[in-house]
Amino acid sequence: MTLDSDATAVASLALGALALPLADVLLARKRSLLGAQLTRERRGSYLAFATGLTIAIALLFTLASDGTGLPLDPNQPLATFDGLSRFLGAVTLGTALLTVLSTNRYLAGAGTRHGEYYALLLASLLGLVLLPACTHMVSLYLALELASVPGYALAGIRRDSPRGSEAALKAFLAGSVSSAVLLYGAALLYGATGELALLEIGLALDPGEPLALLGGGLVLIGLAGKLAIVPFHQWSPDTFEGAPVGVVAFLATAWKIAVLGALVRVLTLALAPAEEAFQAVLWALAALSMTLGNLAALVQRNTKRMFAYAGLAHLGYVVLGLRVGGAEGTAAVLFFLLAYAPAALGTFAAISALARDGRESDRLEDLAGLFRRQPLLALALAVCVFSLIGVPGTAGFVAKFQLFSVSLSQGVAAGDTGLVLLTALALANVALSAVFYLRVPVALFMREDSGTGPGGTPGSLDRAVLAGCAWAVLILGIAPQDAGVIVPGGDLLRLAQGAAGALY
Amino acid sequence: MDGLAYLAERHLLTSIVFLPLAGALALLLLEVSLTALSSSIQRFSALTWRVFGLVFALLGLALAAELWLLFDPAAGGLQLVEHAAWLGDWGVSYYVGVDGISLLLVMLAAFLYPLALLASWGEPSERARHLVVLLSALQTGLLGALLSLNLLTFFVFVEASAVPVYFLVGLWSRRGSGAATRYMRLSALGSALLLLGILLLGSLHAQQFGATNFDLFGFGGAPGLIETELDGAGPWWTAQGFLFAAFAIALFIKAGLFPLHFWTPDATVESPPSASVLLAAVGLKLGAYGLVRFALPLFPLAAAAWAPWMCALGGLGALYAALLAVVQTDLERLVAYWSLSIMGLVCLGIFGLNPIALEGALLQMVHHGLVIGGLLLLSGMLAQRRAISRLGELSGLAGSMPVFAAIFTLLLLSAAGTPLLGGFSAAWLIFLGAYPSAPWLAAAAILTLGLLAVFAFWLLGRALFGALPGGGGRQLAELDLREKLVACSVALPVLWMGLSPMTFLGPVERSVGELLESMQRRGAAGMESGPEAAAQPRPGRGAGN
């Protein structure tokens, strides 16, 4: 029964991705499927509704599964539907749903072709939902490419804009190099162990063998490149600046969350025997990502670029959690992702909500004086930003507290000075991030409207999405145990623990 | 009504903490739902907000008075304790309780809050609603931090009070958002350090007892953080000295203590007078209170070892801030530096590490809150009349504003430590306590107060009783009834504190004794050689600092 629900979720996404272009064509004819000819905006709304419905169905079925659909089994090595895939799948789908809801008005204004946009989004989402479930190098690679290729096209969906083309090209070049590196690493691992299933690789891996370490390292680098962890991040700010804000929201939340799921699988299954060697790599990646991400975000004036760099810093915190490892560290990472999603999504949704005719309000000045014009929108955005800083009362605080608490306990228990120093660095980085994040509330509340922004009026869906994000952030921050109201399943802290516990 | 009575009876501390915020949020919700229901209903007027804000503040004061009556000074220990798990798995609980040390500061906060609200009635009315909501959030944060006995919850309340301060400073600032941003940056740095210290301590505790628990004192059989052994042979970052340094730096930032004080004058001056009262009078105390409540009992050996240096920072900081106060040309800024100077004395008293000095420090904290709060309120009233507060343009006010002049004189003289006023009792205890271990610093503190006293007389002579170059004094409207009420309410306890300091010290004595006792016990338990170093600094040590 429960595999049925996981499978139904995946199948509904696949069906949606295939049916949507067809529906677009049928709706676009002079005598459309629904009778009279439809305006472009109208058609877009129908397609957005269909996409949202598809994702919602997939989300419901994912939540309905009990996380034991297809346990880890050497005879069925391609995929595993367990707590981790359920948790990350649900978070990915939830953020994607909110993204779709918040971009419809923007797309209508920008004159983008809706049909392609939603079809690509669903295809990419299908890959993403499968990613955390993949436990085989081949299926993992396929899912990653299924997610990536539509992703490149999405980044360049605004073909009229040179920046859009730049965004797509950079994402494509970096992404395909990352894929190649990942594939090469998998090949080396196969050479060293003779296996392709992650579980079998882990059983056969000899931590003393350079070939295996090199292979594992290349797989890590490939995934790090897809995630844009520093120093493999150069494509990400340019892509984020050039791509439409809805796509950026998708790449910054749903995308990262799902690919991190793949990283967790690889680390816990395939590379577990060589833990010590890779811990140093993760340490360096975390330290670089959080520090350089925040330092680079300090000097940005474009909010999308700023949030892109700040997202790198958040990836650094996540990698710190992976460096801690174990059921506790992974649970903290999962909750961190859950907490990060609505806050990050809220910031992008706000940028999208203020766009007019495809012009985005992506400069800091465009947010100036927003509190006067749109008090509720400004408050919701401020709540999201405070969560990204980690102010108590918001999800960001609980997530960061849990993450740093776990890493310090382990550092103390193991007498591990490196881990304690890394956590101290992370805390210093959180303080540093306050410097640039606070520019947003300063602009919202304490500056006068410059009058040069696009000054669009948010639609009711935009408002609803932002309010939902702010609400999720607050409820996760104040009562994470009782936050089951968001996702049926009750105690989200325990849910994350359960999902992580299944891995060990 | 039964439910409310039950709350006030069984959950008195919780009611005190959350009443301000709950009141403001209820009003906000009512306003939003009423305006949504019917388009004919306008937003509530400024008067509504002010009156209801004041009503809730007075209710809070009544609850605080009940707390004062219920508190049994003879029983000692923690009283009216409430405990509930929040993030249970992570050892974070909502754990509040009151002892003599927190009682005084809670009373101070509850007393100043209605006065601050009342004083804000004179400000422009268009932002009355913002002001009430933000002040109530600030007040809840402050009270929660003062009553929290779980370190993480303390941290949460401290941070929760930083957010409204940020908005109060930034929204009301006359010179852009610079002061607010500087405040938040430094505050974030301090918070990161404090959180690091708390989490490290919690991890050490978890390692020793097998379960994470951030409660300071054990509750229901679970051991508290205070039982953590900190002298194991762990790496350097588990040493008491390191953890104490993290706490001390963070709390020095929060308290605006020299040499991490530089954010305070701007933040005080730029925020509206009602907010700067809460910020300077109570907000700064959170840092000092944190030192007494957490840093001293948790790290007794390190505190004793560092005490001479901390005393030096306190004493010299007091002198330095007094010198800066003397050269200010703006009344509010002058008060802000004066406040820094008194906070230096508080620091000297805290790290005197004996009962007399510590009691003096606590008394001084309350006194600081009253006089600095009062002076800020008075200068706010002056600013409302003149829209400026430059000292050079103030002259001969006594003629047209006799009540103002009287209260101003009283507060200023008390702030300079004149006998028979509150400042004298507090400062005297601090000198007495600090003298045996650090005579030179005690002398520096006396010099500070002497300097301030001379300056106070000069200032009074000039601003209140002098004449403008052209002859004659400024003609300003005398305080109206509301303002007189505010001013006299602040002045009375100052007078009372000078005449009968024991009213204030009564509840404190036992708690201070218990605190020092526990430091001594822990110090002795953690150290094989020289247990006497723990609580009582040896005479002569640190004398040169």
CB-CB under 8 Å, A389 with B206? no
Q: Are B341 and B257 in contact (CB under 8 A)?
A: no
* pLDDT-based confidence at residue B536 (cuts at 50, 70, 90): very low
Enumerate residues 330 to 389 of chain B having a beta carbon within 8 A of any beta carbon in chain A.
none
* pLDDT-based confidence at residue A138 (cuts at 50, 70, 90): very high
Q: Is A431 on the interface with B (CB under 8 A)?
A: yes
The lowest-confidence range among A207-221, B31-45, B62-76 is: B31-45
Mutate to test the interface with B, among A336, A412, A416 (most CBs of B within 10 A): A412
Enumerate residues 201 to 230 of chain A having a beta carbon within 8 A of any beta carbon in chain B.
none
Q: Are A126 and A58 in contact (CB under 8 A)?
A: no
Distance of CA B62 to the CA centre of its chain: 20
pLDDT (tens digit per residue) in A441-480 = 888 887 777 777 777 778 788 888 999 999 999 988 888 7
Q: Is B87 on the interface with A (CB under 8 A)?
A: yes
Beta bridge partners of B85: B93
The lowest-confidence range among A3-7, A143-147, A175-179 is: A3-7
Distance of CA B530 to the CA centre of its chain: 35
| Residue A329, pLDDT score | 87
pLDDT (tens digit per residue) in B329-370 = 888 888 889 999 999 999 999 998 888 999 999 999 999 999
Enumerate residues 234 to 263 of chain B having a beta carbon within 8 A of any beta carbon in chain A.
234-235, 237-238
| Residue B265, pLDDT score | 83
State the smallest CA–CA distance between residue B376 and chain A in angstroms: 24
Q: Which residues contact A122 (CB under 8 A, 6 or more apart)?
A: A13, A16, A17, A20, A51, A54, A55
| Residue A163, pLDDT score | 84
CB-CB under 8 Å, A412 with B207? yes
Residue B74: name the closest of B97, B106, B99 by CA.
Answer: B99
Distance CA A133, CA A143 (A): 10
Which residue among B156, B160, B170 sits closest to A442, beta carbon to beta carbon?
A: B170
* Number of Cβ atoms within 10 Å of the Cβ of A365: 16
pLDDT (tens digit per residue) in B396-420 = 777 778 888 899 899 999 988 888 8
Q: Is B144 on the interface with A (CB under 8 A)?
A: no
* Number of A–B residue contacts, CB under 8 Å: 107
Instruction: Assess whether pLDDT exceeds 50 at residue B312.
Output: yes
Residue whose pair of structure tokens reads 């059989």 in the numeric block: B221
Residues of B in contact with A435 (CB under 8 A): 181, 185, 188
Distance CA A212, CA A191 (A): 8
| Residue A486, pLDDT score | 46
| Residue B2, pLDDT score | 65
Half-sphere exposure of residue A380: CA atoms within 13 angstroms, side-chain side: 26
Residue A68: name the closest of A130, A4, A9 by CA.
Answer: A4
Instruction: Assess whether pLDDT exceeds 70 at residue B516.
Output: yes
Residue type, B330: D
CB-CB under 8 Å, B163 with A445? no
Select the more confidently predicted residue: B387 or A470. Answer: A470
Distance CA B111, CA A118 (A): 60
Distance CA B234, CA B242 (A): 12
Q: Is A404 on the interface with B (CB under 8 A)?
A: yes
| Residue B369, pLDDT score | 92
Which residue among B163, B167, B212 sits closest to A409, beta carbon to beta carbon?
A: B212
Which residue among A405, A430, A442 sits closest to B202, beta carbon to beta carbon?
A: A405
CB-CB under 8 Å, B235 with A417? yes
Select the more confidently predicted residue: A162 or B543. Answer: A162
Mean per-residue pLDDT for A300-311?
88
Residue whose pair of structure tokens reads 């002098």 in the numeric block: B466
| Residue A369, pLDDT score | 81
Distance CA B466, CA B486 (A): 26
| Residue B171, pLDDT score | 79
CB-CB under 8 Å, B234 with A405? no
State the smallest CA–CA distance between residue B192 and chain A in angstroms: 5
Q: Is B212 on the interface with A (CB under 8 A)?
A: yes
Where do the H-state alpha helices sit in A194-209? 198-204
The lowest-confidence range among A210-224, B76-90, B240-254, B434-448 is: B76-90
Secondary structure string (H, E, C) spanning A56-90: HHHHHHHHHCCCCCECCCCCCCCECECHHHHHHHH
Residues of A in contact with B29 (CB under 8 A): none
Q: Is B264 on the interface with A (CB under 8 A)?
A: no
Backbone angles phi, psi at B95, to 5 degrees: -135, 105
CB-CB under 8 Å, A405 with B212? yes
State both tokens at B265.
């004058």
| Residue B530, pLDDT score | 35
State the smallest CA–CA distance between residue A265 and chain B in angstroms: 26
Instruction: Assess whether pLDDT exceeds 90 at residue A139.
Output: yes
∠ CA A178-A179-A183, rounded to 5°: 115
∠ CA B405-B409-B414, rounded to 5°: 155
Distance CA A102, CA A52 (A): 11
CB-CB under 8 Å, A392 with B170? no
Backbone angles phi, psi at B70, to 5 degrees: -75, -30
Residue type, B11: H
Secondary structure (DSSP) of A8-60: HHHHHHHHHHHHHHHHHHHHHSSSBTTBS---HHHHHHHHHHHHHHHHHHHHH
A112-116, B4-8, B138-142, B396-400: which is most confident: B138-142
The lowest-confidence range among B6-15, B500-509, B526-535 is: B526-535
Q: Are A346 and A384 in contact (CB under 8 A)?
A: yes
| Residue B533, pLDDT score | 39
pLDDT (tens digit per residue) in B94-152 = 899 998 899 999 999 999 999 999 888 877 777 888 888 899 999 999 999 999 999 99
Which residue on chain A is closest to B153 by alpha carbon? A392
Mean per-residue pLDDT for A294-306?
89
Instruction: Assess whether pLDDT exceeds 50 at residue B225.
Output: yes
* pLDDT-based confidence at residue B232 (cuts at 50, 70, 90): low
Which residue on chain B is closest to A428 by alpha carbon? B192
Domain ranges, ordered by start, for chain B? 1-253+262-290, 299-508+519-545
* Number of Cβ atoms within 10 Å of the Cβ of B200: 24
pLDDT (tens digit per residue) in B160-190 = 888 888 888 877 777 666 777 788 888 888 9
CB-CB under 8 Å, B167 with A391? no
Q: Which residues contact B115 (CB under 8 A, 6 or more apart)?
A: B277, B373, B377, B486, B489, B490
Distance of CA A360 to the CA centre of its chain: 21
Mean per-residue pLDDT for A4-20?
88
Distance CA B102, CA B146 (A): 6
Residues of B in contact with A501 (CB under 8 A): none
Which residue on chain A is closest to B198 by alpha carbon? A405
| Residue A322, pLDDT score | 92
Instruction: Assess whether pLDDT exceeds 90 at residue A425.
Output: yes
Residue B251: name the closest of B200, B186, B301 by CA.
Answer: B186
Q: What is the DSSP letter of B282?
A: I
The lowest-confidence range among A218-232, A283-297, A348-362, A473-487 is: A473-487
Residue type, B516: L
* Rounded (10°) CA dihedral A300, A304, A305, A311: 110
Mean confidence (pLDDT) of chain B: 83
Secondary structure string (H, E, C) spanning B481-493: HHHHHHHHHHHHH
E strands along B335-435, which residues? none
Instruction: Assess whether pLDDT exceeds 50 at residue A430.
Output: yes
Residue B241: name the closest of B317, B186, B308, B295 by CA.
Answer: B295
| Residue B532, pLDDT score | 40
Residue A253: name the closest of A4, A26, A472 by CA.
Answer: A472
* Number of Cβ atoms within 10 Å of the Cβ of B299: 29
What does DSSP say about strands B79-87 and B92-98: parallel, antiparallel, or unpaired?
A: antiparallel
CB-CB under 8 Å, A397 with B156? yes
Mean per-residue pLDDT for A175-187?
94
Residue B117: name the closest of B277, B226, B256, B319 by CA.
Answer: B277
* Number of Cβ atoms within 10 Å of the Cβ of A413: 13
State both tokens at A19.
């049916």
Residue B242: name the closest of B284, B180, B200, B187 by CA.
Answer: B200
Report the percentage of chain B scoring pLDDT > 90: 23
CB-CB under 8 Å, A417 with B199? no
Instruction: Report CA Rg, chain A.
Output: 22
Distance CA B492, CA A465 (A): 53
Q: Which residues contact A113 (CB under 8 A, 6 or more apart)?
A: A157
Distance CA A111, CA A96 (A): 21
CB-CB under 8 Å, B180 with A408? no
Q: Are B349 and B429 in contact (CB under 8 A)?
A: yes
Instruction: Assess whether pLDDT exceeds 70 at residue B539.
Output: no
Residues of B in contact with A402 (CB under 8 A): 87, 90
State both tokens at B515.
């605190």
| Residue B258, pLDDT score | 82
CB-CB under 8 Å, A428 with B90? no
* Number of Cβ atoms within 10 Å of the Cβ of B306: 20
CB-CB under 8 Å, B185 with A424? no
Mean per-residue pLDDT for A407-412?
90
Which residue among B157, B160, B167 sits closest to A445, beta carbon to beta carbon?
A: B167
CB-CB under 8 Å, A391 with B234? no
Secondary structure string (H, E, C) spanning A403-472: HHHHHHHHHHHHCCHHHHHHHHHHHHHHHHHHHHHCHHHHHHHHCCCCCCCCCCCCCHHHHHHHHHHHHH
| Residue B27, pLDDT score | 87
Mean per-residue pLDDT for A110-117?
76
Q: Is B320 on the interface with A (CB under 8 A)?
A: no
Mean per-residue pLDDT for B485-505?
88
Instruction: Assess whether pLDDT exceeds 70 at residue B489.
Output: yes
Distance CA A486, CA B22 (A): 24
pLDDT (tens digit per residue) in A311-369 = 999 999 999 999 998 888 888 899 999 999 999 999 999 888 888 777 777 788 888 88
State both tokens at A290.
């959080």
* Number of Cβ atoms within 10 Å of the Cβ of B231: 14
Beta bridge partners of A404: none
CB-CB under 8 Å, B196 with A424? yes
State the smallest CA–CA distance between residue A497 and chain B in angstroms: 11
Residues of B in contact with A391 (CB under 8 A): 159-160, 163
Distance CA A476, CA B545 (A): 49
Mean per-residue pLDDT for A236-254?
88
Residue whose pair of structure tokens reads 């992703």 in the numeric block: A151
Q: What is the DSSP letter of A197?
A: B
Tally DSSP H helices, then E strands, for chain A: 21, 0
